[in-house]
Structure 1
Amino acid sequence: MHFTPQDLPRTTVADGADPLWETVLSLHTLRESRADPALAAWRRHAVWHGPGPLRTLFPLVPPRGYFPDFLTPPAAANGVEPALEAVMSTPRTRLRAELAALADGIHTTGQRALPGWTADIAAGDPAALRHLARSLRTYHHHAIAPGWPRIAEQVGRDRALRRHALGAAGAEAMLRTFGPAMRWRPPVLEVGYPVERELHLQGRGLVFVPSYFCRDVPVALADGALPPVLVYPAAANDATAPGDAEGPRLRTYGSGALRDVPTLIGARLRSGA
């Protein structure tokens, strides 16, 4: 990421956890094959309660690679409902372009082709967009909202750390706090990103978004023309599942609890339960 002198004073940290970034990135976590005991019970809960939304959301958010930028609009900073309104108001040209990019990415990586109903979203069909918004809302309600206080707490701790550096010594001092995943070599922020790319901020600044469900490497919007955002794993991960307060089902921890999650995903999606 290439900074200019104008970018530094316009670089900041988001005010809190972003509900749609957490929602979308959790869909990656849900399908991770590696054992993560802290999230085992959360994964089982999310799959058990969300087969309907998952049938819609999984094709749009593959396990790896590109997913459409319109799923994570800036309006999410104001809450879930403003974000969903923004998703449903995405211009048709952008829907077509981003779903075409998704189809290309899926083809390149050998993943399953997009289902036919995504053509209705690409065409801006109001009913299809309402269904997408309803799926995001329902999944967020069951999988993300119950653990939101814990998500917000962890993100808040990270935000306080970055904001302290920013307020005490300026943007460059804050940029030096992100190692080792990011390295500040003025005027470039080097990011351990999954694909090779360069982003020139060109005076627009950058918003850092700490995230609970961003688990490995930072994530940026694919379209460099959009307002620059960099989502990164929130520090001070206490290895506690976000849904820990959801009851006995969410307290069944241990790596063994993860073994049947892929089977459970398939069974729930096939059953239509």
Structure 2
Amino acid sequence: MMRIHFSVDDIARTRLVAAPSRLAVTTLSMLSLSHPKPAPVGSWRWAVRSELRHADSARRLVTAICALEGPVPAFLLSARQGRGLEDELAQLLSTPMRTLQANMRHVADWGGLPGPFRHITEGGGKAFQALAGSIRDYHRVAIAPHWSAVHASLSADLAMKARVLCEGGIEQLLSGLHPRMHWRSPVLEVDSPFDIDYRLNGRGLLLAPSPSAFPSYVPCHPLDEQPTLHYQVGKDRTFRVHPAVQTGSPLALSTLLGHSRATVLEVCAEGGSTGQLAERSGLSLSSVSEHLTALRDAGLISTLSIGRTRHHTLTDLGTQLLRYDFS
């Protein structure tokens, strides 16, 4: 059991990430491959394990991540989302070496460092570049084909959690993060393989959704400026994508709504003005406005006028429509 202790300052500074991080999702998905149960034929784990046979560097990285006896290195779980994986890898590669080495010492205290991480402390920048390349190879095989569905589900959860925060406050948000997390003020109890008391010391907690379960419950790094807790979205299941995405056929949502309207619904998961949604979707302003009207009439989005700007968010019905099964 991990017990995260909050002070009044911690409560005030606890917040949600702005958007899902590709790097964090990529890293956490690797731990799902260590699930003891055999992977059913056709499942995400089965498909990825098959692909990894032909991706040596990615396979070595997964082996190293799954061999860790303690927490995953904090720099691989950064919640600083970028415009894409390359943007987040650039942020990763800009991490000062002294920060990396301090992180490695913390991980090593739990039971040693597997090869790729030990090489970073020994080989410096060249080994770090090699690690980034392995992440890139793994992401291409395991995450990139499914990112649209993953992003939609996590963004919808963030939008729903934001409404809980606005309507019920931070304690209601902490009370409903996950069935395996229990808020007993001023402590958040997290079902975890690590028996640890973690004190935030006034830094607050950054809450980030993840499609994976077990990997989310790792101790936060003590040197983090603001610690991040990656909570699993939905039921306690192994990472998996929606079957429609898994087989490469068109998304069921696109079949139901049409590709453009489904795209507008997906970008609404993060909320935004009409102009912002047009920019994210790549559609014209007039086309987005037309789709928003149809989605609003169907009860899938709600619109709030703030001055001359109209801000759009998903309704509960729209959120449920975007949810996918990650078992």
Q: Secondary structure at the match of 1:231?
A: strand
> What is the deviation of 1:44?
3.4
The answer to whether the Cα contact below 8 Å between 1:42 and 1:242 also exists between their aligned partners in 2 is: no
Q: How many residues get paired?
A: 243
Per the alignment, residue 101 of structure 2 pairs with: 96
Residue deviations 1:26-67 (CA, integer Å, cap 9, x gap): 111112221454434433344245333222442245265332
Distance 1:77 1:215 in 2: 25
Q: Distance in 2 between matches of 1:123 and 1:89?
A: 18
1:253 aligns with: none
Question: What CA distance in whole angstroms lies between the structure 2 residues aligned with 1:70 and 1:238?
Answer: 25
- Per-residue Cα deviation, 1:74-99 (whole angstroms, up to 9, x for no partner): 43455422321232223223333333
Residues 11 and 207, structure 1, Cα contact 8 Å, conserved in 2: yes
RMSD over aligned CA atoms reads 3.0
In structure 2, do the counterparts of structure 1 residues 96 and 183 end up closer, same or farther at CA, with 3 Å as the change threshold?
A: same
Contact kept in structure 2, 1:219 and 1:232, CA below 8 Å:
no
Cα deviation, 1:158-214, whole Å, max 9, x if unaligned, reads 223321210112111111112531111212212222212222223322111110123
Tell me which amino acid in the other structure corresponds to 1:98: N
- Aligned-pair identity (%): 29
Aligned-partner SS, 2:5: coil
Indicate the residue corresponding to 1:32 in structure 2.
35
Structure 2 equivalent of residue 184 of structure 1: 183
Deviation, structure 1 residue 147: 0.6
Q: Is the 8 A contact 2:31 2:62 kept in 1?
A: no
In the alignment, which residue of structure 2 is the partner of 1:264? Answer: none
* DSSP-derived class of the 1:178 partner: coil
For 2:193, what is the secondary structure of its paired residue? coil
**2:43 aligned with 1:3:** no
Q: Distance in 2 between matches of 1:169 and 1:32?
A: 36
Equivalent position of 2:159 in the other structure? 160
Read off the aligned partner of 2:52 and give its amino acid letter: V
* Structure 1 or 2: more strand by fraction: 2
Structure possessing the higher radius of gyration over alpha carbons = 2
Matches within 5 A, 1:92-241: 92-107=97-112, 114-115=114-115, 118-123=117-122, 125-215=124-214, 218-235=217-234, 241=240
1:223–1:50 Cα change, 3 Å: farther
* 1:68-121 Cα shifts (integer Å, max 9, x gaps): 2122234345542232123222322333333344445345xxxxx733x65441
**Paired residues of 2:213 and 2:236 also in contact (CA < 8 A):** no
| Matches for 1:39-118 after TM superposition, within 5 Å | 39-62=44-67, 64-77=69-82, 79-107=84-112, 114-115=114-115, 118=117
* Range that drifts further, 179-188 or 119-128: 119-128
Tell whether the 8 Å contact from 1:175 to 1:184 is kept in structure 2 after alignment. Answer: yes
Unaligned runs of 5+ in 1: 108-112, 249-273
Distance of aligned partners of 1:181 and 1:73 in 2 relative to their CA distance in 1, 3 Å threshold: same
Q: Which has the higher contact order (CA 8 A, sep 6+)?
A: 1
Query: Which has the higher mean CA deviation after the structures are superposed, 79-88 or 158-167?
Result: 79-88
How has the CA–CA distance of structure 1 residues 160 and 177 changed in structure 2, closer, same or farther, with 3 Å as cutoff?
Answer: same
Distance in 1, Cα, partners of 2:123 & 2:100: 7
Q: Is the 8 A contact 2:213 2:239 kept in 1?
A: no
Provide the TM-score with structure 2 as the length reference: 0.64
Matching residue within 21, 24, 29 for 1:21: 24
Secondary structure at 1:198 match in 2: strand
- SS at 1:184 equivalent: strand
Please say if residues 24 and 71 of structure 1, whose CA atoms lie closer than 8 Å, have aligned partners that are also in contact. Answer: yes
Structure-1-length-normalised TM-score: 0.75
Q: Which runs of 5+ in 2 are unaligned?
A: 249-327
**For residue 314 of structure 2, what is the aligned residue in structure 1?**
none
Output the CA distance in 2 between the equivalents of 1:102 and 1:240. 24
